[in-house]
Structure 1
Amino acid sequence: MDTFYHLGRGILVIVVLYVLAVLMRRRGVLTEEHSSVLAHIVTDLCLPAMIFVTLARRSVRLDQLGPAFVMLGLEITCIALAWVVSVWMGLKRAQQGAVVFCSAFGSSTFLGYPIIMAMFPHKTAALTEAVLISEIGVGYPIFILGPLLAMYFGSEGSDSGFDWSASLAFFRSPVFFALVLGILWGCLKLPGQDNFYLAPLFQVCHVLAAALTPLAILSVGLMFRIPSMRSIFFALALVIVLKLLFKPILAGLCAFLFGFPKLWRDVLVLLAAMPPAILGAVFLKRYGGDASLASTLLLAASLVSSVTLLFVFWLVG
């Protein structure tokens, strides 16, 4: 019951912010063009701050990385499958990007952490494993591959090929520098937020990180259009099958084959069953992909996940 409550509460937050964004757009307070501004703020300011403070305070033990690498493998598998099937379905490149992002990357931080904490309130090992899976198995791929994939799928006007030189922009972006700085900070065990001189820096980063989720959802919500179900049916069906069913079931099977402890298996399955990540639509908006389709798929899949998550966890959890 706690699982359903926390999942429902998280989805309700998404829906409410979506509705607020749509209402503000209808009243003229915000326009769809503002979604690009919000996307820039998220990817160039809030996201780097969140990455840095998350990595700077954490050291990783090698024996805990098994589930994280399984999740990483699942994400790459889902990217490949979604890409191949969407091409076979005859979708345009921009539409392929929406399907790929929604099929591969899950909302492990926004929805995953509250559910894990609710299900395992007295087991710190569960949250520790969830953080490792989320940051290494989900965070790193979407932080690194996300901009590169979004640049590719956003190059709709040039089907002749992808400008790989443009992808190098990621390695000059705030996200990349935050990744490198955060990893080095954590590995070198440099002073953190408890340090008198560094406390203001970390406090600013925490404030910016806290703004990531609402700004990201507002950015995505401004792009939302009520679609014709016929136009998105096959894309949505593919996302549901790959992201909400195939990925968590395969995660449970991999955990069993690798002999992971039951706690690790439960955490891995739950995080794999999360609905699509909000950042996918933000990246697509930032780099010219079909963010409107991604926004629609994200909201629809989030609603469906309230049923599929419980079913999958009952099946393989």
Structure 2
Amino acid sequence: MTTVISLQPIYQFVLIALIIIGSIKYLKYRGFFTDDDQSVFDKLVTELALPAVIFSSLAKLEFSISTIAPACVLFITLLLALIIAYIFCRICKFSRPISGTIIMASGFGSTATMASPLIYELFSSQPDVIQKGLTIGTLGSAIPFFTLGVIIASYFGAQYAEREVRISYTLKNFFMTPIFISFIVGILVAFLLQEFHIPGTVYFVDIFTNFFTIISVSMNLLIWIALGLMLRPIKIKFIIPILFVIICIKMLFEPIVATLLSTSLGLSLITQNLLILENAMPSGAIAAVLASRYGCDSSLAGWLIVGTYVISLITMPLVFMALQINCIFS
């Protein structure tokens, strides 16, 4: 592959995230935050920031036929990762909250919080590539996360959150969440804007997309604060094997499978690069907040995200070089 990818934005993003998380952890130690504050930030992310991101990303989605195949590749790799993680949890006989956390961290990556900003940074001179990458990420990863991911977190965290452990009850609750409502409204707005040219809609869209963009920009800070509050003492002997498995599934298995599938389908080199970038991402920070919000193991979720972020500084260059993507370090 001839595309040259700079790793400097990746390092900068991860280090900034870790600095903020560490600062929140220090402020919590000094008493500025307490454990009770975590639920507040979890709700801010899942009830306000995330629905805003969902609506704005879907309302501005420029769907094209050429994105269907790569989006399917992204979704298939995600689905395989979820299945493998579920089998691992069943073999190890983990509790439901722990299983839900591991499954979420194994399948869903940092599409909105890390991949999208990096695509903007890495392909700043190629707007068509940026739009294609964002569309692939939205269709193949974000939409499954907004739907399947919420259901998984809610189902596995139901017992801890003292809800009924039934898929019907989980689905009923899911349909009433701001996440699902913003998902439906976003799709409807996107459809109306693409199919009907209503006079004056440009001004309407500008006002509302700018409003939701402002909220979504603050989402990373809210997420990192929530992650910092999640971090509590945990046994190293317990988390290390789990972290190793998640790294193998999320950051090694997924990009390799994506490469094999995209190559066999004859996708363009730039599309293969976008898929590898999406699949090589560390575990999703939003997935951790969502898992915590719906009753899964919040402390484990926080440490797994921090762990995959740190390890991504090593695995992402290795994945790019192993799959023959030219990369530079500064």
How would you bin the TM-score normalised by the shorter chain? over 0.9
> How far apart, CA to CA, are the structure 2 residues paired with 1:169 and 1:40?
16
* Contact 2:71/2:136, CA 8 A, preserved across alignment: yes
Q: Structure 1 stretch 100-109 or stretch 147-156: which is displaced more? A: 147-156
Question: Does the 8 Å contact 2:282/2:309 carry over to 1?
Answer: yes
Matching of residue 95 in structure 1 with residue 98 in structure 2: yes
The answer (yes or no) to whether the contact 1:102–1:276 under 8 Å persists in 2 is yes
Mapped to 2, the partners of 1:53 and 1:79 lie a distance apart of 27
2:187 corresponds to: 183
| Cα distance in 2, alignment partners of residues 250 and 2 from structure 1 | 20
**Long gaps (5+) in structure 1:** none
Number of residue equivalences = 317
Which residue is 2:175 aligned to?
A: 171
Q: Which runs of 5+ in 2 are unaligned?
A: 326-330
Partner of 2:252: 245
Separation in 2 of the partners of 1:205 and 1:245?
34
Name 1:56's counterpart in structure 2. 59
Q: Distance in 2 between matches of 1:227 and 1:292?
A: 8
For 1:273 and 1:181, the matched residues in 2 are separated by 30
Shift of 1:115: 2.9
Candidates 249, 273, 282, aligned match of 1:275:
282
Per-residue deviation, 1:163: 5.1
Do the aligned partners of residues 196 and 133 (structure 1) sit closer, same or farther apart at CA in structure 2, a change above 3 Å counting?
closer
TM-score (normalised: structure 2): 0.89
- 1:290 shift after superposition: 0.3
Q: Which moved more, 1:64-73 or 1:265-274?
A: 64-73
Q: TM-score, normalised by structure 1?
A: 0.93
Give me the whole-angstrom Cα distance separating, in 2, the residues matched to 1:211 and 1:277: 16
Q: Given the alignment, which residue of 26, 31, 42 partners 2:29?
A: 26
The question of 1:85 aligning with 2:88 is answered yes
Aligned equivalents of 1:281, 1:26: Cα separation in 2: 21
SS of the residue 1:172 aligns to = coil
Match of 1:8 in 2: 11
Between the aligned partners of 2:276 and 2:285, the Cα distance in structure 1 is 20
Q: Deviations over 1:246-269 (max 9, x none)?
A: 011111111101110000001101
Q: Is the 8 A contact 1:56 1:192 kept in 2?
A: no
Q: Over the residues paired in the alignment, what is the CA RMSD in angstroms?
A: 2.2
Superposition pairs of residues 140-159 of structure 1, within 5 angstroms = 140-156=143-159
Residue of structure 2 aligned with 1:65, choices 64, 68, 83: 68
* Percent of aligned positions that are identical: 26
Q: Distance in 2 between matches of 1:94 and 1:255?
A: 34
